[in-house]
Amino acid sequence: MDALQAIDLARAGLVLMLTIAGPMLLTSLIVGAAIGLIQALTQVQEMTLTFVPKILIMGLVLLLSLPMIGAALSAFMMRISDMIITGG
């Protein structure tokens, strides 16, 4: 394996991480901003109020995106195993 292949594999790994974590992080951002806006409008400054909806929504998004995550990890593992078998 030369340097270009290693860089390409690292880039693919970073894209895979963004593909897996992206939907959950984006959902957490949207829910957090919405709850923050509601807290600002109602002047309820309870710190724990944001965590329960975020956890519930992120759990739902995780369950909905599990097939996509499994397919992405499987494709990446197939790519790595092909590189191991062919020797580079």
DSSP string covering 7-63:
HHHHHHHHHHHHHHHHHHHHHHHHHHHHHHHHHHHHT---GGGTHHHHHHHHHHHHH
Tokens of 70: 């499994």
Range of the domain at 14: 3-86
Residue 45's pLDDT is 78
Residue 40 confidence (pLDDT) above 90 = no
Dihedral sign from CA coordinates of 56, 58, 59, 64: positive
Domains: count for the chain: 1
Residue 76's pLDDT is 95
pTM, 2 dp: 0.77
Lowest mean pLDDT of 33-42, 43-52, 77-86, name the range: 43-52
46-75 confidence digits (pLDDT tens)? 777 888 888 999 999 999 999 999 999 999
Q: What is the mean pLDDT of the chain?
A: 91
